[in-house]
């Protein structure tokens, strides 16, 4: 793991990936809950109901599943190959193989 000092010395670019991990989950959940409160989303609304082009398996996943971490969706990093993971960690665009 990099130290905070080495991370601080890097310049941010439009391709910089700020690895926030689970830090923002509670803010995203609260934003979704506010959308439900305002009537813009429903807890029982499915992913395909919100995103019509989402794959068919989204018919079985609703907002409540996402908030409760019971959707069954895999971690997106588990789906990435090793090269792509390295590029994401380095904060470089896909066309740049340096790290």
pLDDT tens string 11-21: 888 877 776 76
Written as tens digits, the pLDDT of the chain (99 aa) is: 455 555 566 788 887 777 676 788 899 999 999 999 999 999 999 999 999 999 999 999 999 999 998 998 877 777 777 667 666 666 555 555 555
What's the pTM value of the predicted model, to 2 decimals?
0.61
Catalytically active residues, by annotation: 22
Distant-in-sequence, close-in-space partners of 4: CB < 8 Å, separation ≥ 6: none
Measured from the Cβ of residue 45, the count of other Cβ atoms closer than 10 Å reads 14
Q: CA nearest 84: which of 73, 70, 97?
A: 97
């Amino acid at each position: 793991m990099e130290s905070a000092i080495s991370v601080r010395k890097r310049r941010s670019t439009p391709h910089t990936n700020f690895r926030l991990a689970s830090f923002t989950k509670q803010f995203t959940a609260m934003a979704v809950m506010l959308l439900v409160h305002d009537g813009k989303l429903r807890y029982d609304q499915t992913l395909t109901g919100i995103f019509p082009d989402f794959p068919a398996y989204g018919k079985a996943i609703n907002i409540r599943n996402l908030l409760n971490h019971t959707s069954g969706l895999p971690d997106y990093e588990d789906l990435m190959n090793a090269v792509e993971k390295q590029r994401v960690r380095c904060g470089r665009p896909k066309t740049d193989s340096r790290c």
